[in-house]
Amino acid sequence: MTDPLAQDQIDVQLLLFTIETSIRVVKRFQFFLWAQGSLQTFLPHETLLCACGDIERGDYRASVFSRSVLSPEYESRLIDPAAGLMARLLDDWRAGAREPLAYGGGVRGRSGAAALRTLGLQHALAHGCREARGEQSTFFALLGMPDAPTDQDARRIELLMPNLHLALLRITEFERREGAERANGRYSSPLTLSARELQVLDWVREGKTNHEIGQILDISPLTVKNHIQKILRKLDVTNRAQAVARLAALRAHEAGRDLAGET
């Protein structure tokens, strides 16, 4: 039989660890690594949806952080401000007095539950933080949880909400300043990897070893190792997994900037 006191102690330790590691999150790739690391130990999930802005008026920027590669079409169905899953979850959250939302175990009668089923999803947990300044409100949805979220899970996301909220605001502020620098001509793209370095990192992402990458690219494993060391320095990370995550976040960020510039 599980000792409730021992379980409470474990929960406190996990909460403190998750909070402590969130404090260092400033950039998008850091948030991704935190969500796939510390946050997973506290609230395991497959995909995390985030919204920041005036969520009451539907004027927000949404992001997707997923352990799986999602198609652009599927991501659009998650975060489309008019008819996406995020919009339906926000409707449920407002209707539920802005309390944590737990989906699973046959929950019905909510527009979000129907939207989850349409997307082939079942277990989800969602909550938000409404600021007095509406444009700085946030909302989060954890999708693809291994089991139906419990009352304890709802309590966990309540406890973690201030840190989720502040981490997303820090990312938003960092990118706002970066955008201002770009507009003033002081911005340089962080995607400074050479064509060969990008090739190497793409194969790293596929799980290939230095020896296998060398065979594929017809270069020595030592050359591959040198490329990876340069990649780590350029991306300001310490290991291969962080490099892959950072490049994915940077590419998404650059694509978003380019798209914004076309509109």
Higher pLDDT: 16 or 192? It is 16
pLDDT score of 103: 94
Torsion angles phi and psi, residue 245, rounded to 5: -65, -40
Give the span between the Cα atoms of 200 and 228, in whole angstroms: 7
pLDDT tens, position by position, 132-150: 766 789 999 999 999 999 9
End-to-end CA distance of the chain: 59
Could you read off the pLDDT of 4-47 as tens digits, one per residue? 445 566 678 888 889 999 998 988 888 988 998 899 989 999 99
* pLDDT tens sequence across 63-118: 999 988 888 899 999 999 888 999 999 999 999 889 999 998 665 558 899 999 99
Residue 155: is its pLDDT beyond 70? yes
pTM given for the model: 0.69
Q: What is the side-by-side strand order in the sheet with 59-66?
A: 59-66, 47-54, 137-143, 124-129, 101-103
